[in-house]
Amino acid sequence: MADATTRLDDLVAEAARAHPGRTAITAGARSLDFATLEAQVEATAGALRGLLPEPGAAVAVSSVLDPDFAVAYYAAVRAGLVTAVVNPLLREEGLLHVLSLCEARVALVDAGLYARLLPLRKKLPHLRHIVLIGPAAGPASASASASASASASASASVDTDPDPAPPVRTLAELVGAADGAAPADPAARPGPDDVACVQFTSGTTGLPKGVRLTHRNVTTNAAQVAEAHLLDSGSVAVNHLPTYHPMHLNSAVRAGATQVLCLAPDPVDAVHEANRSGATHLYSLPVRLARLATAPVPDGLELTSVRYVASGGSALAPAAARALTERFGVPVFQGYGLAETSPLTHSDDPRSPAHGSVGRPVRDTECRIVDTESWSVLPQGATGEVQLRGPQVMKGYIGRPDGSETDANGWFTTGDVGRIDESGRLFVVDRLRDVFKCDNFLVAPSEIEQVAARHPRVREVVVVGLPDERHGAVAAALVVLTAEGRADADATVGDLVSYVSARVPYYQHVHHVELVDAIERSGNGKIQRRLLRDDLVARLAATPAHKEAVAP
C-alpha cells in the first residue's frame, strides 16, 4: 500500500480524483459520490474561512450518523482550522466541559445537540456561531428544521438570560451566504505535523481530556486501518454505530470504499441493510453483536454478501463472537486502540480471527508489555501494562506540552493490562484502573466475568473491586439473570457464587452479588466500570444491612 497523504482533507480530494462517480456515503434516501463530497467540503471550507479567519481555531463538529458530519469534519480542516469531534450524545455538563476545553469558536451540530447547547451559551464565551447540520438541516426537511428550532426554543425557555444566542443557520444557508468566498491562501496551509483534529477521551478516569492529533497521525492511521481491515475501492461498509467515528470515515475514504450509514438500533435491521447494499463489511458494537448472536432472529436471516463482521468500542466476549460466526458463517474480528493513538493500533486478521484477541499491531506500530511497578519489559505470555509506539501516537493533550505523554523513546503507556501470545497477538485483560489487588494478588475483573458468564442462568455480568479492610479489595458482581434464574433468584445467586469459586483462585472469589435489571452503559455502549463501582460502594454505604453472598 502506498504511503498515506499527509493532509487530512486531501483524503477526500484524492478519492474524488480517483473515484469521482463512486458512492462515498449513503444514508437512507441521501447519497453522495466522492466528487460531490469534495465539492461540498470545498464550499463549506470557504464559508468557514469567512466565518472564522483565525487559522488553527477550533470548530466543534457533532452529529449522529449523517453525511453532513463528513462534510463538516473535512471542511473545518480544509479551512485551516482544527476539527474538534464532539459526541452528540453528551448531556449539558459534558458538553460544557469539552467545548470549553477546546475553546470552540464555531459549532456545527445536529438538532438534538443544539437543543442542549443553546441554554449553555452564556457559559461559552468563545462560541460565536452555531451551524445546524444533519437531517433537520437538509433542503428537503423544512418541517424537521422548524421542529428542531421549536425544540431549541423550548430548551431556551428555562434560561432567563435575555442576551441573544450565537447566530444559528443551517449548513446550506452558511454556504449560500458565503458564495464567492476567497480561496485558501496556500502559504497558510498547515503542515503534516500541525494539529488537524481533537478527539476527547471517554472520561473513565475523570473529566475527558482533549487529544491533539496531527494530520500525519490521522492520515497514517487511515491507511493502517484500510490495510488491516482489507478495505479497497470495491468495499461497501455498513456503519452500525450510534455515532460517526472518524476512524471508519477516514479509512473508508482513504480506500475509496462506500459507507452505508444504518441508524436503526436493532442489529437485525443492520443485517437487512447490509444485504440490500451488497455490503462487504459490517461494523457494529459488541452489545449489538452479542444480541444478534444469541437472541431469536427471523427464520432464514442471513448475511448474503458480508465477508467480515467487525466489533469495536469495547471487548466482544469470545462466546458471542463464536456464536455469531456459527449463526452467519462469517468471521468476526476486533481491534484495539485509544483516542490517543488516532485510534487503531491493533487489528485481528479479518479472514482468520482468534476470538478474545485484538490481534497484532497494524503496520509500523510496536507493542510491548511492561511490569506495572518496575517498568521492565516482560517476556512473551506475561501479563502487564500495554505500551505502544508508532506514527499514530498523539502530539499531546490540550494544555500539556508536545510529547509529554511519551517517554524519551516514544513509548506511550496506555493504562491497559494485557499479554502477547506466541503468535504476536495482544489479549487485553483490563484497564489498569479497573484491576484491583486482593491480598496483594492483581485481580482482573474480566477474568471473573468470563467464568460467571458461562453460568446457564446468567445473562450478563460485570465485576468490580469492592474495598475491603481485610483483603484490600474483593470482587463484587452486578448480575442480570435469565428468566429461569429470576424465578428462584436466591438459589441462583448462591449457585453462581459456588460456580465461580470452584473455577478461580481464592482471591478471585465473588464476595458480593447484586441483581440488576440491566447493566448501565455510556452513550457509545461502553461499560464504565469505575462509575458502576462508585455507585455500588455508595449504595452499600447507605444500606449497611445489604444482602451479601460471601464466597467460602
| pLDDT one-digit tens code per residue, 59-102 | 999 999 999 999 999 999 999 999 999 988 888 888 999 999 99
In terms of phi and psi (left: phi > 0; alpha: psi -120 to 50; beta: otherwise), the region of 470 is alpha
| pLDDT one-digit tens code per residue, 286-318 | 888 988 998 888 989 999 999 999 998 778 889
| pLDDT one-digit tens code per residue, 157-177 | 333 344 555 667 899 998 888
Question: What integer pLDDT is reported at residue 142 of this predicted model?
Answer: 37
Say how far apart CA 414 and CA 440 lie, in whole Å.
22
Say how far apart CA 470 and CA 458 lie, in whole Å.
29
Residue 182 pLDDT grade (very low, low, confident, very high; cuts 50, 70, 90):
low
Residue 505 pLDDT grade (very low, low, confident, very high; cuts 50, 70, 90):
confident
User: Does pLDDT of 332 surpass 70?
Assistant: yes
**Are 358 and 434 in contact, with CB atoms under 8 Å apart?**
no
**Are 345 and 228 in contact, with CB atoms under 8 Å apart?**
no
CA 428 to chain centre: 17
End-to-end CA distance of the chain: give it in Å, rounded. Answer: 57
Most confident of 138-152, 215-229, 450-464, 526-540: 215-229
- In residues, how long is the chain? 552
Question: What integer pLDDT is reported at residue 487 of this predicted model?
Answer: 94
SS (H, E, C) 162-194: CCCCCCEEEHHHHHHHCCCCCCCCHHHCCCCCC
Domains in the chain (CATH in brackets) are 33-213 (3.40.50.980), 264-431 (3.40.50.12780), 436-542 (3.30.300.30)
Mean pLDDT across the chain: 88
Question: What integer pLDDT is reported at residue 176 of this predicted model?
Answer: 87
Query: Residue 339: helix, strand or coil by DSSP?
Result: helix
Residue 437 pLDDT grade (very low, low, confident, very high; cuts 50, 70, 90):
confident
User: Greatest CA separation found in the chain?
Assistant: 77
Rounded to an integer, the average pLDDT of 310-336 is: 92
Say how far apart CA 220 and CA 232 lie, in whole Å.
16
